[in-house]
Chains A and B, each alone.
Chain A
Amino acid sequence: DGGITQSPKYLFRKEGQNVTLSCEQNLNHDAMYWYRQDPGQGLRLIYYSQIVNDFQKGDIAEGYSVSREKKESFPLTVTSAQKNPTAFYLCASKGDRGQNQPQHFGDGTRLSIL
């Protein structure tokens, strides 16, 4: 079945450590997105990519980095500069550049501090 796979489901980060969250899609979608979800704050956009080898910062990009070397993959790295990384991270994709298509979501990665 086509879909978005996020791994791992749970991740723990030590002080000063960078960690990478994986997001893979087999929907042949051009656009991919990373959101951070905190209780009571909804979803906040971290980074998005409309096409391979191109990406833009969202509202809360500081302390995060991404790459888009392949259409299917959009990994997110949470760097040691992100001082409050504990959150639920959601990856999404969309099939075209039009406005009327919904974003499809993976099942998320929950990141915690050790």
Chain B
Amino acid sequence: AQSVAQPEDQVNVAEGNPLTVKCTYSVSGNPYLFWYVQYPNRGLQFLLKYITGDNLVKGSYGFEAEFNKSQTSFHLKKPSALVSDSALYFCAVREAPGTALIFGKGTTLSVSS
């Protein structure tokens, strides 16, 4: 069965520093991977996805993610964090056509000024 793990409940980083939010996955076939962000009392907003092709994927708000097949990872990154990036981040995977996304438990990112 497919699954997603986000090993860190919380990541703290200072404004201007690079940030990484980790995600590992487990699927039996080719993974289709997504990152979402959630602000308090709001729905999830799509940031980026990996389907095929380049291992480095660029998305919204300056975020990018690196797909690593050998490590089954899809870590979210940003070169320079902003205080406004503080939010809850979810990694998700879809394995088979027509199925719903399976989400990790989320990582709270806190960026201090």
Which residues does A use to contact B, with CB under 8 Å? 4, 6, 31, 33, 35, 40-43, 45, 48, 50, 58, 88, 90, 92, 97-100, 102-108, 110
B42 x A42 contact (CB < 8 A): no
Main secondary structure of the interface of B (DSSP, over half): loop
B105 x A40 contact (CB < 8 A): yes
Whether B82 sits at the interface, judged by CB under 8 Å, is: no
A100 x B100 contact (CB < 8 A): no
Chain B residues with Cβ under 8 A from A102's Cβ? 34, 36, 46, 49
Q: Which of B45, B94, B96, B105 contacts A42 (CB 8 A)?
A: B105
A88 to B101, CA, bound (A): 18
Q: Tally B residues with Cβ within 8 Å of A.
A: 24
Main secondary structure of the interface of A (DSSP, over half): strand
Quick one: given A100-B32, A100-B51, are A42 and B103 in contact (CB under 8 Å)? yes
